[in-house]
Structure 1
Amino acid sequence: MDNIESKELFNQVRSAHRLLAAYYQRIFQLLTDVSGDERLGLNYYLWEPSDFSRPCQKQTNVFNRSAWDLLPGMNTNYLFHNAKDNNKQQSGEWMLDMCVIADTGTHDNQNLDPLEDALALKILPENANSILRCYFFTAHKETYLNWYDGFWNAYPYEECSDVKTPKCIDEEHQLYTSGFEISLDELTGENAKELLVEKIMQFRDALLQIE
């Protein structure tokens, strides 16, 4: 690599970091606007990277970790609920997982080796997508489960669908879930917030109206 190529490479790196920061700023604003809409009645619960780990503690040797761990916002779950107690489910309480997937080529690639050269991944950027998956969770009986460990993290995701009918994933505890997927391309317009809130309300209502 000659000097001119090196300068161009690091120019791209600087531009990429600034572009990512701008992307996260806009994603954060959208999620804040949507989750804060009074029609949903949600409160922030927690967040977690979907595929890789959070950046490690300062005492941990970061060079023994995957470089992907330095990109914790790449594919990320943001959880919100209206529960009064994080360890209890009551009638009318529900949880929303807004899973932001910047690159389906990494999120949906079950054979991804985190040590593989990131520039040599088999799925090219132009063949991947950037999407938002919204997952819904509720219990139709009073249940004493931790919303994270006992509910969200205890069961595999159901497939996203435009069908709003929820699926029972635990008969004993009467746990139900559903979910839909939307391209991030569709959430760049001025009406993005309203479009997303309306769709979330439709799925929420179907979730809570089960008899």
Structure 2
Amino acid sequence: MKERQTTRVATDVATEAENVLELREDGHRVAAVAGTRAADLDVRRVLAWWRGFEEQVSSRGEELRGLGPELEEAARAADAILAKTPPVLAADVFDAVAVGFASVPGIPTLLGPWFAEFARSCGREAGTHELADAAWAGMFAVQRAGAPAPGAGSLVDAMAPAADALAGADVADVPAVAALHAAYRAAADGTRHTVVDGVVDPGALVVTWFFERGTVV
């Protein structure tokens, strides 16, 4: 009986983790784009990526264990910058997000240098090579800002496998959207390893949502 109860608990934990990792909008699951799209991500698509990620954070903030308000404040700060200076390049979107997040203490401040590396790596468009370079550099920047090494149950546990997946996609010459599919799956797997008492680390979840939104632009 004890073994069966243990199995049930493990199943419940796994189910809860799957639920928070599922991409939803207005209560409905958002389906990923079928197949792959060969083009790099231009400013329009990167802006759509940001808007989708922002909506995900706003509509599902209760799943972030208290971090929702901080992230929403950071998103508003980023939007104010984008409204004042409309982006021309893909890098401009990431730069505005980086500045907005860096202005809010807590997890947003940690994510600020991560987004800054996406701005640095990307120019007019974001391709697989640029995304891979940004993901690795961003992870190290977040660690320099105070995040722990992989394995501590933090946002880095989603960043590290995603960066590795993007690096592999770059070597294999995989298009950007397909590469982001791989990054999302890797980040989701890393996030599952942060589960404690049925709860995933909210920072890792945010990173996973970011990559997930990149798959539907």
Using structure 1 for the length normalisation, give the TM-score.
Answer: 0.34
Larger relative contact order (CA 8 Å, sep ≥ 6): 2
More helix by share: 2
More strand by share: 1
